[in-house]
């Protein structure tokens, strides 16, 4: 039986560790040729090293798959051009692009520095914008559609203490996913996001994982969602945010309440009327 992604070429950013590594292994297992991108930073974005990406590419090759390592940053135009070039020069095309690379610089809002804000936005939000754009442009030229899978987070979608920079970036990725899905549909390019929760070096010191094991909450639980979204099984699905937390899968949706309307002839709402109607507005 043909594998789900036989003959497809997939890029995974930040694939040298954690969730990205699991995505890369699973996409290769499904038959894709994989560009394993990773700058090789620590979890705060410091340092760099090619070894992380090299090891994962070697792991895929050892299992009989096809992979190439790439060490560019997702945070610059030159970096994402280099990642695309790795796919095109080695495998001739790109069909799937998974924006996954990320760093953390947690501080409460009152203590957040400009540097911590900018670096986190650069890797997550700018990196996702650049990756989505270079991938979509290449896919449009190829004329056979494509799949883009972004990585959001409950921090951006629901809020999380101490993550103003990260939450803003991840909420931005939600908005970008929704807009890109609308704009790219006419080229047959689907854009979805995953909001994962998994034990990785990014999260292994969080209290929420106390009592959980790798088996319960490891990145291997997230990767099937990326393969699904990258494959024909997800035909017709775009603009969605899939929450994956261990063995639980669900959708995140922006909610609006029914609200209340005032007769426009009676003029705009007054602040006092808004207060008086608050129970209905918020119901």
Told to check if 163 binds ligand NAI by CB under 6 A, we report no
Q: In what order do the strands lie in the sheet with 67-70?
A: 67-70, 33-37, 9-12, 96-98, 146-151, 189-197, 241-245, 248-252
Told to check if 123 binds ligand NAI by CB under 6 A, we report yes
CA 279: distance to chain centroid?
36
Residue showing tokens 């808004």: 274
Q: Which of 125, 193, 197, 223 binds ligand NAI (CB under 6 A)?
A: 197
Told to check if 212 binds ligand NAI by CB under 6 A, we report no
Q: Which is nearer to ligand NAI, 25 or 31 (CB)?
A: 25
> What is the longest distance spanned by two Cα atoms in the chain?
73
Q: Which of 4, 202, 249, 281 binds ligand NAI (CB under 6 A)?
A: 202
Q: Which of 166, 199, 222, 229 is catalytic?
A: 166
- Report how far residue 283's alpha carbon sits from residue 280's, in angstroms, rounded to the nearest whole number: 5
Told to check if 201 binds ligand NAI by CB under 6 A, we report yes
Residues touching ligand NAI: how many (CB under 6 A)?
Answer: 32
Told to check if 101 binds ligand NAI by CB under 6 A, we report yes
Question: Are 134 and 81 within 8 A, CB to CB?
Answer: yes
Q: Angle between the 114-121 and 164-184 helix axes, to the nearest 10 degrees? A: 30
Q: Which of 5, 32, 56, 73 binds ligand NAI (CB under 6 A)?
A: 73
Q: Which stretch binds ligand NAI (CB under 6 A): 2-10, 54-62, 98-106, 265-273?
A: 98-106
- 174 in active site: no
Burial letters for 185-223: b for 16+ Cβ neighbours within 10 Å, e otherwise? eebebbbbbbbbbbbbebbeeeeebeebeeeebbbebbb
Q: Are strands 248-252 and 241-245 parallel, antiparallel or unpaired?
A: antiparallel
Q: Which stretch binds ligand NAI (CB under 6 A): 16-24, 27-35, 135-143, 184-192?
A: 16-24
Residues within the interface to ligand NAI (CB under 6 A): 13-14, 16-20, 37-41, 43, 45, 52, 73-75, 100-103, 123, 151, 153, 196-198, 200-203
Q: Residues with catalytic annotation?
A: 166
């Amino acid at each position: 039986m043909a594998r789900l992604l036989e003959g497809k070429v997939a890029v995974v950013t930040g694939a040298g560790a954690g969730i990205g590594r699991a995505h890369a292994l699973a996409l290769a297992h499904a038959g894709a040729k994989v560009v394993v991108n990773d700058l090789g930073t620590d979890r705060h974005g410091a340092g760099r090293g090619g070894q992380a990406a090299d090891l994962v590419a070697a792991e895929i090759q050892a299992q009989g798959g096809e992979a190439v390592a790439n060490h560019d940053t997702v945070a610059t135009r030159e970096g994402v051009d280099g990642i695309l070039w790795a796919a095109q020069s080695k495998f001739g095309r790109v069909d799937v692009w998974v924006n996954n690379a990320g760093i953390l610089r947690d501080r409460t809002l009152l203590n957040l520095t400009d540097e911590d804000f900018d670096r986190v936005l650069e890797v997550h939000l700018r990196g996702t914008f650049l990756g989505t754009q270079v991938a979509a442009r290449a896919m449009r030229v190829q004329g056979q559609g494509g799949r883009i899978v972004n990585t959001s987070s409950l921090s951006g979608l629901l809020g999380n203490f101490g993550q103003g920079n990260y939450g803003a970036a991840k909420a931005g990725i939600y908005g970008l996913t929704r807009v890109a899905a609308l704009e790219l549909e006419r080229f047959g390019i689907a854009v979805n996001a995953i909001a994962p929760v998994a034990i990785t070096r990014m999260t292994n010191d969080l209290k929420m994982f106390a009592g959980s094991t790798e088996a319960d909450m490891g990145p291997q639980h997230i990767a099937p969602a990326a393969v699904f979204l990258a494959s024909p099984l997800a035909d017709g699905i775009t603009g969605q945010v899939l929450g994956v937390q261990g063995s639980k899968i669900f959708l995140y949706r922006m909610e609006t309440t029914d609200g209340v309307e005032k007769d426009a002839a009676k003029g705009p709402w007054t602040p006092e009327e808004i207060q008086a109607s608050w129970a209905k507005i918020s119901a």
